[in-house]
A = this chain, B = another copy of it.
Amino acid sequence: MKKTNPTLAEIARVAGVSMMTASRAVNNQPGVSDEKRAEILRIADDLGYVANRAAQRLSGGRSHVIGVIAQLHTLFTSELVLGIGSAGRAANYEMLVYSLSDADNRPPGPILDLLSQIVDGVIVILPFQSDYLASLSNAKLPIVTIDEGNDAPFPKIMTDNYQGARLAIEHLAALGHRRIGFIAGNEGLASARDRARAFHDMRAQLGLDADPELVVHGNFMQQGGFLAAQRLMRLAEPPTAIFAANDMSAVGAMAAIRESKRSVPQDISLIGFDDVSVANHVHPALTTIRQPLTQMSRAAVNTLLAMISGIAPPAERILLSPELVARESTAAPPLEKLSQKPGRKGMTR
């Protein structure tokens, strides 16, 4: 049980070669004969050599570590981070996460500077502040953003929010709903705007009820969804279905609907967006639009690694397609469409 781990110098000494040869061998670079390479790798493995990434980076090389800046407040973000970790590891890259707390408003500059001392590139996941990165074109460090960051000069990996929202409305319309309420998201976010735009477009296209009262404002959070749905439930003619701009809003809405003595989906259908894991925990399980988490993280890592290798990013903007996940919170509208009362029991679907 050795106390301290061996350095490259020790490997080199044991193998009877220079440090550079050892370095080339362990980094899989040319300039070493096959036998020597094998020998060095064997020794490195025997001695439990772990390269010092900090030193690698310090001396101008690659550390083979990628950084992630994220707010870990939502499971959605955490799952994205996990996906990035796997994708990175598959490419022989380690991942380190800088957790941004929403409470502190530390400027992004120093954080990136800190990370740049260790990592070769950074993936930024910022669901809540669109202009966060706009300022810093550090240029030194490859950066890729996920989800938002429209104005930032970095490649962006995004879900096609417009398309996703269309799927949601199409699903509701196909079930027979003509009067659909919409709980909007945080207006400052491009994702929220895209979803709202799709809602309005589809409503016009399908000739659904276009009552302005049917659009209420949420904030992407549970509480906002609750209040918004309350307003919808108090309308003279409430909608038969509600599209919430994200799952947490939908969860809040569900409570408000229940509070108004109506049930989901018998009286009101409800659909969310994201497919966070809570969506499957609530009762009834929430029908929603799934963001392709795995694809997103893989795309982000691939783009970043390309940039690290000096290849120009394949695209400034990669749009991934979401999909409908039909669960239990949506159904056909009640037959007596005008019924505002709890009505109709026993409808199994």
Residues of A at the B interface (CB closer than 8 Å) are: 1, 3-5, 48, 50, 52-55, 57-58, 65, 72-73, 75, 78, 81-82, 85-86, 89, 94-99, 101, 103-104, 109-110, 113-114, 117-118, 137, 139-140, 222, 251, 254-255, 258, 261, 278, 281-283, 348
Contact = CB atoms under 8 A, between A and B. Distances in A.
B85 A101 contact: yes
Contacts of A97: 96-99
Task: Name A's interface SS.
Answer: mixed
A81 B52 CA distance: 25
A154 to B, nearest CB: 16
Nearest to A342: B348
When all copies of this chain in the complex are counted, the total is 2
Contacts of A140: 3-4
Contact of A53 (B1, B5, B117): B117
Contacts of A348: 261
A96 B96 CA distance: 6
Contacts of A103: 86
B283 A117 contact: no
A248 B112 CA distance: 36
Given A48-B109, A89-B104, A55 B53 contact: no
A258 to B, nearest CB: 7
B283 A281 contact: no
Contacts of A109: 48
